[in-house]
Structure 1
Amino acid sequence: MFEAHVAATPHATAVVSAAGTLSYRDLDALACRQAQELTGMGVAPGELVGVYAEPGPAMIGAILGVLKAGAVHVPLDPEYPDQRLDFLIEDSGMSAVLAEERLASRLSGRGLPVAGVADSADAESAPAVETARRGPDDLVYVIYTSGSTGVPKGVQVTEANVVNLLNAVGESYKLTSSDVTIFTHSFTFDASVLEIFAPLAFGAKLVVAAADERRDAAKLVAAVKRHGVTIWDMVPAMLAQVVDLPDFATDCVSLRLAISGADVLPPGLAHRFLTLAPWCELQNQYGPTEATVITTVWSCTTDTEAGPVPIGFPIDGASVHVLDDRLAPVGPGEIGEIYIGGSGVAAGYHRRPELTEERFVTDPRGLRLYRTGDLGRFRADGALEFQGRADRQLAVRGFRVEPGEIEDALCADPGVQAAAVTTRGEGNDVVLVAYVTPVADGTILVPALRQHVREALPEHLRPNVYVVMDKLPLGISGKVDLRALPAPPSARPELSVPYAAPGDPEEQRVAATVAQILGLDDVGVNDNFFDLGAHSLIATKIITRVRAEFRTDIPVSVVFEHPTVAGLVAWLRANADATTSVQGPTPADRTGPIPLSLPQEQVWFLGKLVPDSIAYATQAYLDLHGPVSVAVLEESLDEIVRRHELLRTTFVEGADGMPEQVIHPPVPVTVQVEDLTGEPEEIREILALDRMQTIVARPFDVGRLPLFRWVLFKLSADHHMLLLVEHHFIHDGWSFGVLMQELRECYRAFSEGGRPHLPELPVQFADYAVWQREWLAGEEAERQWTFWREKLRGAEELLPLPTDRPRPQVQSHHGDVVIMPVPADLYRRIRQLGGPTGATGYMVMTAIFTMLMNQYSGKTDMTIAISMANRRFESTERLIGMMINGGLLRADLSGDPTFGELRGRITEAALDIYRHQDFPFSKLVEYLNPERNLAYNPLYQVAFSYHDARVPQMSLGEAPADIHYLQNYSAKHDLDVIVIPRGEQLATVPGSDPADEVLMEWIYSTDLFDRSTVAAMAEEFIALCRRVVESPDKTLSELVGRAAADPSA
């Protein structure tokens, strides 16, 4: 199934992660490389091969390589302790391991052939390898699960099992190549099989969550939003964290299917999810590893709050039976044990024939069934309900846990006489509690016992809390009476570090928060949270509370790196500047005058100087190849204008002489239609473009509605061009992406007779404008102003680029543009230059641009303007309006640095700007108060910006659209260079490549430059980029080909 998509859509994106992006062709090439290595090592079809790697494209390529070689995949978690790793290697009898380089050393001395996991670079030279034939009964993978006897058991899953699963899921999920799924589970958890194989089997895109994202609900939601994820599988504990996020519904609008599995889905949680995200289907799934991931599915409805959420009906190829002790069906509504039959039932347990015979049984009718140990009953409508366990197996954070395996590991400690393990708490707060008794005359040291367990068991099997007892309570049968076990004490447990009381107020606040979450009386500043009873979900709750308490953007990963009160407080202090959380806009009082935002106010006053200027308008058109309904288009635009007050706002001078916003009620939008079908076909497009330029050239009166012009040119029944012209007061680059997303969704919904799936906006642009004024009066604004004042102290006001004509005394703002494409291969290498250092492609290009400016001006100290979207708050991400802010990057090229050194300087300077991005540029000009000069901007004359705001793959219903940007032949500065990485704008579109269609607009003042001069400058920039990527270790003077010195020095 995967190889069919390799052949049909080789360049479509298959896997995306922080480590890189692979197309279907490249992923197949990686698999071929790994298969060739395995065959060369003597691995034969049917032999078991371990994959020992972190989740990412390379890991997935390794898994596919194992399968291509006809071998059987065995996942090995990098977090496994040595004892667990040793057991799996020995018990499985694996023939070889594919391991990441950093992990391979852990396998030394085990007498096992080890080959490296191939990376993306290996794909380029990989040979074509024919996939080994595999019969329906041949094994595909073996996954080890917790064993009730204390010994993990490997579940053998066959080709027929997997094929049935994928066919059933394709139907249930309605999977297509346009879907985007996300991989968040450990790949030793059987749900990962579906997360990896399903999207690749249907040509979809798979996003692999980064290690620091997988435990952090907020970061996962951000990834869903960033990549446009449509299908997300998660355990109920994670689902609960997700719906608790304030902007969950806003950020997850791309989701069409959410999946809950591996644990009981609380009905209230299902109801809440569907209430917040009514457009998204929520499936409750059930299925043990022994039945190949999924057996039953239930599509939830909002009435589930009234009772248990069913686990539903069998998927295609599966059957479920509720039986009594004699394997006979129980009566309707009666509770019995759940047995599973059909094509998903696994082959058995690896090398465990007795256990296989015990759990995989044949009923009186001759059906082969898997005995789950789960209890259930059929409802009147035939849906299955889960009713708990028939044995002691526990469900903990999505894992099926056999207490016996943990108890055996505890009793292997020579100081432990007996042990019992159970759970306490509910939902995300469930913890594993170990009750232990010492040997005669012995003493149990809990810290040492914790360390013993760490060395023996993986993280999800380690008890969170330890209770030492003289003896365990026994029932009449002589077995441990679990109900008589006491609740863990609230006193601080025995730890390996002495108690140290919290000192300053910050430590006291964090300690109190942790103690309250863990249910303890006290927490010391050096106490490890995980030794106190925390696990990953509780750690997330700690960070969530600390974020709220300190109003800071602290990542979840910090609690794993610094799991003590002292560690968290030290991190908060060290990162105070970078993590200070600014309170975002809230609905403002509308009874008085509403001010303009500060960028709007700046444009207002500039407009007074040049009243008829069109420099502050923006224009684009959609080239639509298909039918367009004017009525549906107008209905769609009506809805957008209703949602966004700013699109029905005028701007007038108030009684105090300052501009004000006046918000008007919604009025129907009329789209002007210009029918060109009567003109000769070959000139219609030329006529439309000529007419567009006439419309664009008309200035706006900001005191009159509308401040947009939306004109539809009809060239034929199936060819239209939609012109979109907006004043900058109601537009910026980010807003265009919002407008396109909403227009596409509204048109789709209204053309189908429905309502668009767009969440209501929590704030409007007017609220943002009021908030900005209030923020400017606060302490954070003062801190940021201090940064800018010091950063720009002593900066030169003019960058002396050679011009073709003398600078006029007053700028006319007349301009033109040179379009320069950046070759895809070059842009990929530019992006790669930043990877090892954390610099983005934009930072790398900015560094090269400063080199170009040095080449032309001779200056080593220069100030270049950059722009920022200024959408820090989730509440403003879906607003249309002029929120863009400018910053000044002061570039230091002194000392003839190598490119690597310069890249570091520029990266740090850019990060400094982002940390202080809230301070409005107009106020920066006002406070610095440079000497005014109508001939040039006194702070900068050159700008370099990056327009990567997300823009969807546009269409209006059945009419796909290409977006084209028009020029208005104006220039705000001497030189304004804009990088437009169209591939990155389309990052949420399956098959898009970030290096595709990168354009540079070199907008220049025709007062100063000839077109040929700017074209030569643009060509020299491309040539300089090539020199840099070929020789990044060379110095500035070597790369620009001239002495990198300031001639004025």
Structure 2
Amino acid sequence: MDISRPVAALYRVPGRLDPAHRELAASGRRRLPGRWPELWVERVLAPADSEPAARRRARELSRGLGAPASGASAARLVLLAYQDGAADLVVTGQPDAHGLPAVDVTDLLRALAGPQPDGAEPRPAAAGEGAIAGAGLPVPLGTAFPLPARATAADLAAAAGLVLAWYAGEPRARVRWSGAGEPARWARFGADPGQSVAAFRLAVAAATRSGEAEPPEATAAASYAVEVAVVQGPPAAGARPLSHLPRTDLDCQLAVVLTPGSGGPPRARWWIRDGTAPRWLAEQVAEQARHALAELVDGDQDRPLTDVPRYGDAERDRVVALGRTPRPADIWTGSLHDAFLRCARAAPDAPALTDRDSTLTYREVADRAARMAHGMRELGVREGDRVGVCLDRSAGLVVTLLGVLMAGAAYVPMDPANPGARLAFVTEDAGLALVVAEERDGTAFGATRVISPDALAELAAGAPATPPVVRVGPEAPAYIIYTSGSTGQPKGAVIPHGNVARLLSGTRGMFGFGPADTWTWFHSAAFDFSVWEIWGCLLTGGRLIVVPYWTTRSPEDFRQLLVDERVTVLNHTPSAFTQLHELELAAPSDLALRLVIFGGEALDARRMTTWFDIHPESRCQVVNMYGITETTVHVTAQVVTRAEALAASRSVGRPIPGWSMRVVDERRRPLPPGIIGEIAVAGDGLAVEYLNRPELTAARFVTDERTGERLYLSGDRGRLLPDGRFEHLGRIDSQVKVRGHRIELDEIRTVLQDDPVVLAAAVVLGQADPDDPASARLDAYVVLNGGDPRQVRRRAATRLPEYMVPATVTVLGALPLTVNGKLDRARLPAPAREEAEQAATGPAEGPLSIVLGAWRAIFGEVAEDDNFFDLGGNSLLAVRIARMLRDQRLPVGVREMYLYRTPLELARFLEADEHAISASA
């Protein structure tokens, strides 16, 4: 051992840190007086078992001793005080015979610890006892195990490399390998999935024999490393860690130790350099490496590496059970309209729906919906039919949806803002028996009969206020929502009544929903978040506030609605919430919110710390929910605490009661905690099918061969955590989310390529500001044969919903491709708009100058006749421009941005307003 090199050790303070020391830590870094070497206290704003805490420990352990001041002790003591009351003591100094710093810390630990409940004396933790050891100090993992009879030292390297390949998702490895008494050598080998076990073992053996003395250069094709040091006895405490190599998500460095067996084969034990990976993960890797070694040596030598099992059946069952939450005991059954009628009978005069200045009671909603159902039956609607509903958000829309269900049919919501071509496709694909819509271009719905809500109400004016007698069971379709499809056409997910009932059965107890709650209905009925908003409220006895369209576009008006209506439950996408959050930071209001639920897109938990400063967790609970249309809105729930926010947690929580989730590999095999794969959902929320898409249904809704359980393959990347929670890590394919809408980039590309002037097209997700969800946008790149990018974008806007229209269209001579012929995203130039100057023009020349300045601050160079939506504008950007103009004392709201769509039109409107003229003077 090199006794001249200082080492660091980490000791967990027994019990909880003494309150006196916690108070000192709360004010930052402080030196404590005492008879020990100088002791520093550092506050760590995260729990002891969190990743930020682990990173802080690792950083402190790797700092070294430095040059002590004259007369100071040749040791450094740092106390890390965590948010949850736990604490660690880092001691850096010269090593003693045990490889630990030669500093007696027993008395110090006793002084730092609070009273021990059992009267036990605190003692320092030793590296060999499973305590947290210092940087460079190996820690044993699991128990020693006998080596397979035919195992070689190279097989140990192969097993370790294969396991780390599973975690890194990368089939190349670099290995630092040494046999007992031999100098260390470096080897590089592959763990390609299609390679046979025999070929893999031979390749690793050859690589270790021909290894180099120095490590090979890091390359993208060899992005992780494992140290396999085959030695007699524990590895040296002063051995150099592999910190100079690129690290993987696993961040784990392993060694294996051979010890003589008692009359049998040698025994092996995996070790880890502590601080490089969470302990649970290191233990799991060691067990998988042991299992992989046995499979490589004693298993079928002809099978490909992809068939090598990662664990036995018992461990597989444990992993699956980890992601399953049992159904609640009081699960609902029956149809959605029956559940609503139960609420109406229990409290007929309770307020159900508020739409501006009008409020309907539960009895009134039930009576109107029943009459509508009779009217639809008179028009020929029967059980199992599908009825299109294409109406703006209003109380009447809710009554219509309920009427469709009472008539025994399933509703198909369509957004009136969608282009006629998309409405026509949905109408034909769904085979609609009837469409309830206001006056519009009749060609959008083809030959299908269309009736307005007023005409339907007039037709059913004399009908009874009791619903028609229909036979609708819990597995009958309740609604069909169309989502983006990679084939260029949307696809309809068929959701039965029982799914929604089970969703609310599983969550009402979690969140305490009931008659005292007031909810907002903010989202389009064609977006499945609305299912949760409407039925989550009305089937638990709450009052639902219809948020008018223009109010959804004005954060100030929306916040005022929350205050005036004393809203208690708010459901939002993170992008939409950003605007409310900014307003509250500037000037907090008297909100009655007790629950904020996020869904629709990924949440950056870090942003919630400032929200908690204004609205503490004790008064307003924040929940992040992950879900998919095909699994009935929500799958998991994670309460977001300040600790979660400080830790930048990506957890979406555990499955809600009755739902099940796992992470699977390309063969649909469950993956253990820590390995990234595809999220698969099972349990109570799965859709019946994709309407008229049997091949797609078969590809995405699959059966677990071992259990017979039905699974939905989400296409999302994720990772299971050891406590049963999940992390959502984005999309596997080309699907993205923009402002809560799930979008297949291939659908947009297909629409672009249908344009006669487009020879080739690509669409990517861009984001001007990585920390601002509102800046997310779709950027298109096209190769043209005539025409111009504005014409291409305008044509796409006639076939795609507003949120799917590319914000920019950049013309290229050819799309850049990789050597494999795929789009090379890294070589795409900046979007054309971003090349423009990003400066705002000052307010020197009246309204037009001010308006152009605001638009240019968002879009770059803008002409006075440029259309807001042609530039890539959306509701969030409209809010920002309107706010900038109000800051310049011009009376512009989001409504004006939508009505006057060019800078010149908006300026003329302002010039015609005497108040605007005087304000700008």
TM-score range for the pair, normalised by the shorter chain length? 0.5 to 0.7
Task: Name the SS of the counterpart of 2:552 in structure 1.
Answer: coil
Match of 1:436 among 755, 762, 782: 782
Which residue of structure 1 aligns with residue 42 of structure 2? none
User: Distance in 1 between the 2:741 and 2:559 partners?
Assistant: 22
Which residue of structure 2 aligns with residue 115 of structure 1? 451
User: Distance in 1 between the 2:472 and 2:672 partners?
Assistant: 42
Q: Does 1:527 pair with 2:866?
A: yes
Q: CA deviation at 1:309?
A: 3.3
Which residue of structure 2 aligns with residue 270 of structure 1? 608
Amino acid at match of 1:536: S
**Superposition RMSD on alpha carbons, in Å?**
2.6
Q: Does 1:293 pair with 2:633?
A: yes
Match of 2:717 among 345, 361, 375: 375
User: Distance in 2 between the 1:196 and 1:502 partners?
Assistant: 45
Which residue of structure 2 aligns with residue 393 of structure 1? 735
Q: Does 1:350 pair with 2:691?
A: yes
Task: Name the SS of the counterpart of 1:340 in structure 2.
Answer: strand
User: Distance in 2 between the 1:363 and 1:213 partners?
Assistant: 46
Task: Name the SS of the counterpart of 1:435 in structure 2.
Answer: strand
Amino acid at match of 2:738: V
Match of 2:755 among 413, 423, 432: 413
Check whether the contact 1:268–1:305 (CA below 8 A) recurs between aligned residues: yes
Trace 1:268-667 onto structure 2 (pairs within 5 A): 268-278=606-616, 279-303=619-643, 304-364=645-705, 365-425=707-767, 426=770, 427-438=773-784, 442-490=785-833, 504-518=845-859, 520=860, 522-548=861-887, 550-575=888-913, 577=915
User: Distance in 1 between the 2:917 and 2:642 partners?
Assistant: 38
Q: Deviations over 1:89-136 (max 9, x none)?
A: 111111111123x34x53587221223214998698552223523212
Q: Structure 1's 51 and 131: CA in aligned 2 closer, same or farther, altered over 3 A?
A: farther
Check whether the contact 1:97–1:113 (CA below 8 A) recurs between aligned residues: yes
Number of residues paired by the alignment? Answer: 570
Amino acid at match of 2:719: R
User: Distance in 2 between the 1:55 and 1:65 partners?
Assistant: 16
Please report the TM-score for the alignment, with normalisation by the length of structure 2.
Answer: 0.59
Please report the TM-score for the alignment, with normalisation by the length of structure 1.
Answer: 0.52
User: Distance in 2 between the 1:308 and 1:581 partners?
Assistant: 46
Q: Deviations over 1:343-375 (max 9, x none)?
A: 101111001010000000112322101000111
Which residue of structure 1 aligns with residue 99 of structure 2? none
Check whether the contact 1:49–1:97 (CA below 8 A) recurs between aligned residues: yes
Amino acid at match of 2:787: I
User: Distance in 2 between the 1:414 and 1:45 partners?
Assistant: 44
Q: CA deviation at 1:448?
A: 1.9
Q: Does 1:52 pair with 2:390?
A: yes
Amino acid at match of 1:301: T
Q: Does 1:43 pair with 2:381?
A: yes
**Bigger Cα displacement from structure 2, 185-194 vs 133-142:** 133-142
Trace 1:657-696 onto structure 2 (pairs within 5 A): none
User: Distance in 1 between the 2:415 and 2:396 partners?
Assistant: 15
Q: CA deviation at 1:177?
A: 0.7
Trace 1:883-894 onto structure 2 (pairs within 5 A): none
Check whether the contact 2:534–2:544 (CA below 8 A) recurs between aligned residues: yes
Q: Does 1:221 pair with 2:537?
A: no
Task: Name the SS of the counterpart of 1:456 in structure 2.
Answer: coil
User: Distance in 2 between the 1:411 and 1:490 partners?
Assistant: 21
Amino acid at match of 1:423: L
Trace 1:874-913 onto structure 2 (pairs within 5 A): none
Amino acid at match of 2:823: V
Q: Structure 1's 33 and 97: CA in aligned 2 closer, same or farther, altered over 3 A?
A: same
Q: Structure 1's 252 and 530: CA in aligned 2 closer, same or farther, altered over 3 A?
A: farther
Q: CA deviation at 1:460?
A: 1.2
Check whether the contact 2:423–2:444 (CA below 8 A) recurs between aligned residues: no
Check whether the contact 1:553–1:579 (CA below 8 A) recurs between aligned residues: no
**Bigger Cα displacement from structure 2, 125-134 vs 25-34:** 125-134
Task: Name the SS of the counterpart of 1:312 in structure 2.
Answer: strand
Check whether the contact 2:482–2:490 (CA below 8 A) recurs between aligned residues: yes
Check whether the contact 1:240–1:269 (CA below 8 A) recurs between aligned residues: no
Task: Name the SS of the counterpart of 1:417 in structure 2.
Answer: strand
Which residue of structure 2 aligns with residue 199 of structure 1? 537
User: Distance in 2 between the 1:114 and 1:68 partners?
Assistant: 19
Q: Structure 1's 452 and 338: CA in aligned 2 closer, same or farther, altered over 3 A?
A: same
Q: Deviations over 1:584-613 (max 9, x none)?
A: xxxxxxxxxxxxxxxxxxxxxxxxxxxxxx
Q: CA deviation at 1:379?
A: 2.4
Task: Name the SS of the counterpart of 2:832 in structure 1.
Answer: coil
Which residue of structure 1 aligns with residue 83 of structure 2? none
Q: Structure 1's 59 and 417: CA in aligned 2 closer, same or farther, altered over 3 A?
A: same
Q: Structure 1's 571 and 307: CA in aligned 2 closer, same or farther, altered over 3 A?
A: same
User: Distance in 1 between the 2:914 and 2:615 partners?
Assistant: 35
Q: CA deviation at 1:155?
A: 0.2
Amino acid at match of 1:266: D
Amino acid at match of 1:348: E
Q: CA deviation at 1:416?
A: 0.5
User: Distance in 2 between the 1:80 and 1:308 partners?
Assistant: 36
Q: CA deviation at 1:204?
A: 0.8
User: Distance in 2 between the 1:252 and 1:484 partners?
Assistant: 50
Q: Deviations over 1:155-181 (max 9, x none)?
A: 000122111112123223211111110
Q: CA deviation at 1:4?
A: 1.4
User: Distance in 2 between the 1:132 and 1:553 partners?
Assistant: 54
Q: Structure 1's 381 and 552: CA in aligned 2 closer, same or farther, altered over 3 A?
A: farther
Q: CA deviation at 1:249?
A: 7.0
Q: Structure 1's 155 and 121: CA in aligned 2 closer, same or farther, altered over 3 A?
A: closer
Q: CA deviation at 1:248?
A: 7.4
**Bigger Cα displacement from structure 2, 84-93 vs 272-281:** 272-281
Check whether the contact 2:413–2:525 (CA below 8 A) recurs between aligned residues: yes
Q: CA deviation at 1:40?
A: 0.6
Task: Name the SS of the counterpart of 1:49 in structure 2.
Answer: strand
Q: Deviations over 1:230-262 (max 9, x none)?
A: 111111111111110047774352110111111
Amino acid at match of 1:60: V
Percentage of pairs with the same residue: 36
User: Distance in 2 between the 1:125 and 1:251 partners?
Assistant: 47
Q: Deviations over 1:317-360 (max 9, x none)?
A: 10010111122222221111100000101111001010000000
Task: Name the SS of the counterpart of 1:44 in structure 2.
Answer: coil
Q: Structure 1's 254 and 107: CA in aligned 2 closer, same or farther, altered over 3 A?
A: farther
Amino acid at match of 1:36: H
Q: Deviations over 1:756-798 (max 9, x none)?
A: xxxxxxxxxxxxxxxxxxxxxxx9xxxxxxxxxxxxxxxxxxx
Which residue of structure 2 aligns with residue 799 of structure 1? none
Amino acid at match of 2:811: V
Unaligned stretches of 5+ residues in structure 1: 494-499, 583-778, 780-1049
Task: Name the SS of the counterpart of 1:311 in structure 2.
Answer: strand
User: Distance in 1 between the 2:384 and 2:353 partners?
Assistant: 27
Q: Does 1:91 pair with 2:429?
A: yes
Q: CA deviation at 1:65?
A: 0.4
Amino acid at match of 1:280: C
Q: Structure 1's 216 and 8: CA in aligned 2 closer, same or farther, altered over 3 A?
A: same
Check whether the contact 2:749–2:761 (CA below 8 A) recurs between aligned residues: yes
Amino acid at match of 2:412: V
User: Distance in 2 between the 1:108 and 1:310 partners?
Assistant: 42
4+ residue stretches of structure 1 with deviation over 6 A? 119-124, 500-503, 578-582
User: Distance in 2 between the 1:52 and 1:17 partners?
Assistant: 18
Check whether the contact 2:423–2:445 (CA below 8 A) recurs between aligned residues: no
